[in-house]
Structure 1
Amino acid sequence: MHLERTTWTDIDTVATDLAMVPIGSTEQHGPHAALGTDTRNAEAVAESAAERLDDPVIVSPAVPVGIAEEHRQFSGTLWTSESTFRSYVRDIVRSLASHGFDRVVLVNGHGGNIAALREVAGTITRHDDAYAVPFTWFDEVGDHASRMGHGGPLETALLQHANPDCVHEDRLEDAAAEASDRWGEWQGRTNLAFDSAEFTENGVVGDPREASADLGADLLDAATDALVELLETVAEHETDRPPHR
């Protein structure tokens, strides 16, 4: 059940304590994919899981701006500080919990959010009247996860399937021609680069020509399966914190 599409009186009757918060970013994804790619993909996975789950689950409006300063040289990219991002996500979860929706999965679509989401989920669980865990869809697609880039085959494919209007198919060749094949500039295990403009001319990492709507459907199925399993586990998870020892 989507909060923004529902009246408060209907929400008041929903018998669940389970909720999802889709979290994305507004940032460059090359010349072929929309700035809102991460948000649209997170929303698609959350909506798919909500439809498949047997029990009701609340889906909050998406968080469309995340930790994305690494793309600051590309027009249209928006970002917030990690502290602001964590506080904002925490406030959303607190709001949900105040209405009884206190088991929350943070459905993430942006790599730059991962560390902050793990941290804020821990803070929420330890100090607030709620239990929260992060879920990043592209980590949950089996062997396909190794092909994750930026504006590459995975993100583009899921867009082609779920939001085809967000992909410029006629720009895929040009996007691939200037793409990087690796995220960063590496010395051993140390990434010397902080901004994506340091290693990719057009913001793309990976070959978006390898994407297809059929691949996107497979990715959505795999991510949905994993998210449904997580939601079912969270619904039954013991949330009492261990005592001091």
Structure 2
Amino acid sequence: MHLSESTWTDADAVETDLALLPVGSTEQHGPHAPLGTDALTAEAVAEAGADAYDGEVVVAPAIPVGVAEEHRHFAGTLWVGEDTFRDYVRETIGSLAHHGWDRVVVVNGHGGNVAPLREVCARVTRHDDAYAVPFTWFDAVALDGDWTGHPDAPPVDLAEIAMGHGGPVETALVRAVAPDLIREERLDDAAAGAADAWGEWVAGANLAYDSAEFSDNGAVGDPRGGTAELGAWLRDRSAEKVATLLDRVAARDCSRPDDG
């Protein structure tokens, strides 16, 4: 059940303690993909995961602005600081828990949110009346697995597909769930101006803090390989993982060790 599409009486009738909270970002994804890519993909994965789960789960509205100051040089990018982001996520989880949905999987679609989400979900679990765990869909999908001969093998060799930023992976998922939002006529220019990899690495350290330091147009990776067919596979694979995670979260003993 998606809260945005439900009445309060619908919500009151739901018998579950499980919720999915999509979290994304509003930031540049090259000249070809929408600013809302990360929130859009997080919500699509959450909804597909709810459909794949054999049981009831509440899907909350997506949080659309995250920790994304690294993209501030590109128009339309919005961001908040980590403290603000953590507080917002924590209080949203608290709202869900108030209604009895106190086992929450945070479905994340933005790399800059990963570290603060891990911290805030731990804080919620340790100190609040809820259990929360973060799930980042592009980390969860096994892009380097051996799919040889597997009946559900992806439509391309995943060893040749890097995550990037506005690259083939994100472009593929947007093409699958909201194809009209990809500017197909800009894909060649996006590929021409894209960086080969994220950051400027020396001795294991990334010298660059902002994407404009290494990418002319904000993209990282060639988006032209991100087909809708690949996107549908990524969505379905992510949904399977969300469903598996919900099973484990539903069955988990959420009592905490005695601090005393």
TMscore range, shorter length: over 0.9
Which residue of structure 2 aligns with residue 214 of structure 1? 229
Which residue of structure 2 aligns with residue 111 of structure 1? 111
Say which SS state the counterpart of residue 129 (structure 2) adopts.
coil
Distance in 2 separating the partners of 1:27 and 1:126:
31
CA-based RMSD of the aligned residues comes to 1.0
- Per-residue Cα deviation, 1:55-96 (whole angstroms, up to 9, x for no partner): 110011100000000000000000000000000000000000
Aligned residues: 245
Q: Which deviates more from structure 2 when the two are superposed, residues 82-91 or residues 223-232?
A: 223-232
Say which SS state the counterpart of residue 54 (structure 2) adopts.
coil
Match of 2:190 among 175, 194, 204: 175
Distance in 2 separating the partners of 1:226 and 1:51:
12
- Per-residue Cα deviation, 1:199-232 (whole angstroms, up to 9, x for no partner): 0000000110111000101111111111110011
Distance in 1 separating the partners of 2:117 and 2:67:
10
Gaps of 5+ in 1: none
Q: CA deviation at 1:186?
A: 0.9
Q: CA deviation at 1:188?
A: 1.6
Which residue of structure 1 aligns with residue 93 of structure 2? 93
Q: Say if 1:140 and 1:222, in contact at 8 Å, map to a contact too.
A: no
Say which SS state the counterpart of residue 22 (structure 1) adopts.
strand
Q: CA deviation at 1:244?
A: 2.5
Distance in 1 separating the partners of 2:57 and 2:242:
12
TM-score by length of 2: 0.93
Q: Say if 1:148 and 1:206, in contact at 8 Å, map to a contact too.
A: yes
AA aligned opposite 1:203: G
Q: Say if 1:19 and 1:105, in contact at 8 Å, map to a contact too.
A: yes
Percent identical residues: 62
TM-score by length of 1: 0.98
Q: CA deviation at 1:135?
A: 0.2
Distance in 1 separating the partners of 2:162 and 2:201:
18
AA aligned opposite 1:22: P
Which residue of structure 2 aligns with residue 22 of structure 1? 22
Which residue of structure 2 aligns with residue 162 of structure 1? 177
